A and B are shown apart, each in its own frame.
Chain A
Amino acid sequence: MNIDKLKNNNPDLKIRELVINNKTIKIIYFESLCTSSDINDFILRPITNNKLDNIRLIKDKLPSSNIVELKEEKELLFCLYSGFTIINIDKDYIAFETKYSLDSGINEASNEKVIKGPKDAFTENYQNNLGLIRKRIRTDKLIIKEYIIGSESKTKVSFIYLEDKCNKDFINEIDNKLKNMDIEYVLNSNYIVDHLEDNKSLFPTNIMTERPDLVTFCLLEGRCSIVVENSPQAVIIPAFFSDYMKTVDDYYQNNINVILTRIIRFISFIIAIIIPGLYIALTTFNQETLPTSVLINFSMQREGVPFPSFIEALLLWLSFEILREADTRVPFVVGSSMSIVGALVLGQAAVEAGLISPIMIIVIAISSVASFLFNDNDIVNSIRIWKLIFLLLGSFVGLYGIFIGTLLFIIRICSIKSFGYDFILKRR
């Protein structure tokens, strides 16, 4: 056993040697992964008090819920790295769980906020995450299959579904892919999804959520979920376009109100994508489509602006995106000063300097605000790219370009497949 070699490279590896009845008992553990009080109370004290010098006796007498008898070296290292304490007498090895809980406890969901409904969220603790789902579905039909993925990270990944609701072929397909997954390490749940499917579209084909209630809803609908160790986000597969138009909050409210809210979400999705391009197409190519009074108003505002509308829109869009990116990266404390600078510099000052017309600010602002109705970052990013495509088409070819863009968009979104399911039609 090359424990000593391990010791050189791992300063937090502790080896405690006891001599009882002339036998040397080695107690090996990682200080950083284990609770030392557990080792004192439940391993050291019983052994010294009872003078246990036999591996059988130790196994029987020590109070521990999780004991592994080790036969191979590989197993030993895995246990050691998972927070087990290993006891070695002669050539026998046995491992006791003394894991130190290295997580932040169950917190409120920070990114997917709801007004009504449960507020708990997944954490970095794998067992907690499984527990959060388990306590919502109390049936033996809930299947959790566990895999260990990652040649270096050895991350636990579980594949969860309801036996009677989920498509068998789909389960087998995912099961096979997970079994044969060959990657070095898994740092977050999206690593798994990226290897499960090669998604070339701009739209995400899975939902990454921190809300156990959303996962439960989807499981009950017959979808599957993947929970990854050390990742506070569970993945739901497959995902459909309509999922991004919903929030969990919808399920906790009066359905008539929710219908209106969803219509608003659809409208703002279209607004977010199309408005900047449409505005440029209408004002630089197809002025006849606007009422005269509106046109006069627009041209009054554009008077004196040095750039063509396209450059104007691009500049404003770019500065808005810079601001947004900065806002997500800066610490919370500096956030408010950022927004003041943004509002003043981008809004008022740019208009007063005559660089940008006020109507352009309205157009870019409404389309950006509309895209923030969607809390999934992936969909916001895909909206951003489609907005740019429409902007280009609108400013080079006018309304005709918007028409082509709309066709392109419909063709693209209809050809997306999420794990073999149709992204729009929700069927296989």
Chain B
Amino acid sequence: MKKIIILVLCLLLTGCYNYKELNKIAIVSSISIDKKDNKYLVGAQVLNVKPKDDSNSSNVIVYEEEGKTIEEALRNITKKSNKKLYGGHLSKLVISEEVAKDGIIDIVDLFQRLPEIKDEFTITISKGIDANKVIKVMTSPESIPADFVKNVIDSADVDSAITHSSKLDEFVSYYLKKYIDPVITVLEVKDYDKDGTTLKNNESTYPKTKIVLDYVGITYKGKLESYLNKDETIGYNFIRDNIDQMVIPIKCDKDNYASISILNSKTKVKVDKNYTITFNIENKSALNEYNCKNNINKNKLEKDTNKMIKKYINKALEKQDKSKSQFLGLKRYIYLKYPKYNNEEYKVKIKVKTNITRTGEINKSSKGEKYEDK
């Protein structure tokens, strides 16, 4: 009995370290970082715990504070919030363009150090607008804005390969590695005004203020260097083997297009002694749209798709030649195989093999099968 009492008393010695009651914490879903007079202006988007049937209040609240460091600014928020900020569910970090140009890696440090924050949140840059405005935009009354944006990024990444969701752990590991630099997701806000931050923004079926994905930004030494356009982003995703699904429009006669949907793509990299990198891209695709009169010629479509993919990749390679950032990590492929490699010249070869396996539920062109023309 004595033993049991001592054991139970031992529990009290823990002092409930790290104990926080659910209704005493403010769950932070996004953090924005701007610079103002040499100080950080930090915004925290906090989930507003409200009764389920209350549709008149927003489901997030944004607090803003200044500070010399980010943590100081976050602590200053306690002046305004009745609850302690809790970062365990942080899903995105928005950094304004100017701050990103000064250095993203300075900002990321805090988020790496804090134990409660997961390494999986997305780092984004707000292009042409203050970061705090991005987290103030009201998206949908049902969902949390941060989750909304995160889902947009993820689906764009997975379904159309026109962006890349840059997570904290990936960002830091690419930053630390030799011959490779991380890329970063870019957000834009269309038609920002005061109404965009209120519930009014959702009254219309076509919200005026909205958060839109741009393509990706490339970094050099942890600083934002420049942005990629759509084609370059797709090329980047092909080279880094990030493609899950995407759609490529192909010209099938003078002014009509067919669309090839890539279902499954795999990029294999080979490096030889002369520092020639060969990308073998193999993909399975489906023909999902066909607006031409002539009958479907699979071989020709496959060849055209190959050409398009090569075009995307070449654009990315051109961008790589022009910029200091090693965002494609080409030299890293060589370095991994030949660790003695030291910035010598290299060549890139691309081989693409498209395999159209399906043409959907109809086999022929509808236009070509029209009765009168036969």
Contact = CB atoms under 8 A, between A and B. Distances in A.
B147 interface: yes
B23 A285 contact: no
Contacts of A287: 20, 22, 25, 27, 86, 88-89
A89 B86 CA distance: 97
Interface stretch (A226-234, A242-250, A302-310, A419-427): A302-310
Given A292-B89, A296-B27, A392-B8, A285 B50 contact: no
Interface stretch (A206-214, A258-266, A393-401): A393-401
B147 A396 contact: no
A299 B89 contact: no
Given A285-B20, A300-B52, A393 B11 contact: yes
Contacts of B20: 284-285, 287
Given A287-B88, A303-B23, A393-B11, A296 B49 contact: yes
A395 B50 CA distance: 26
Interface in B8-67: 8, 11-12, 14, 16, 18-23, 25, 27, 29, 47, 49-52
B48 to A, nearest CB: 9
Among A299, A308, A395, the most chain B Cβ lie within 10 Å of the Cβ of A299
Nearest to B27: A295
A147 B223 CA distance: 90
Interface in A389-417: 392-393, 395-398
Nearest to B17: A397
Contacts of B51: 300, 303
Chain A, interface size category, equals 20 to 34
Nearest to B51: A300
Contact of A309 (B8, B22, B27): B22
Given A295-B27, A296-B27, A309-B22, A288 B89 contact: yes
B89 A398 contact: no
Given A287-B22, A309-B22, A292 B27 contact: yes
B144 interface: yes
B118 interface: yes
A386 interface: no
A298 interface: yes
A302 B22 contact: yes
Interface string B61-94: 0000000000000000000000000101101000
B86 to A, nearest CB: 7
A305 B47 CA distance: 19
A393 B8 CA distance: 9
A283 interface: yes
Given A296-B49, A392-B8, A302 B14 contact: no
Contacts of B91: 292
B191 interface: no
Contacts of A285: 18-20
B193 interface: no
B29 A303 contact: no
B18 A299 contact: no
A296 B47 contact: yes
Contact of A292 (B19, B25, B49, B147): B147
Interface in B89-119: 89, 91, 116, 118
Contacts of B21: 284, 302, 308-309
B47 to A, nearest CB: 6
Contacts of A288: 88-89, 116, 118
A284 B22 contact: yes
Contacts of B22: 283-284, 287, 295, 298-299, 302, 309
A283 B88 CA distance: 12
A392 B11 contact: yes
B11 A397 contact: yes
B114 to A, nearest CB: 11
A398 B88 CA distance: 15
B19 A299 contact: no
A223 to B, nearest CB: 33
Nearest to B18: A285
Contacts of A284: 19-22
A261 B52 CA distance: 37
A395 B8 CA distance: 12
A291 to B, nearest CB: 9
Contacts of A308: 21
A283 B20 CA distance: 8
A395 B88 CA distance: 19
Contacts of A392: 8, 11
Contacts of B25: 287, 299
A87 B86 CA distance: 91
Nearest to B16: A396
A295 B27 CA distance: 9
26 contacts: A283-B22, A284-B19, A287-B22, A287-B89, A292-B27, A292-B89, A292-B91, A292-B147, A295-B27, A296-B49, A296-B144, A299-B22, A299-B23, A299-B27, A299-B49, A300-B49, A300-B51, A300-B52, A302-B21, A302-B23, A309-B21, A309-B22, A396-B11, A396-B12, A397-B11, A397-B14
Interface of A: 283-285, 287-288, 292-293, 295-296, 298-300, 302-305, 308-309, 392-393, 395-398
Interface of B: 8, 11-12, 14, 16, 18-23, 25, 27, 29, 47, 49-52, 86, 88-89, 91, 116, 118, 144, 147
Q: Which 4 A-B pairs have CB atoms at the shortest separation, nearest pair first?
A: A288-B88, A299-B22, A396-B11, A302-B23
Given A288-B116, A299-B49, A309-B22, 11 more contacts: A284-B19, A287-B22, A287-B25, A287-B86, A288-B88, A292-B47, A292-B91, A299-B22, A299-B23, A299-B27, A392-B11
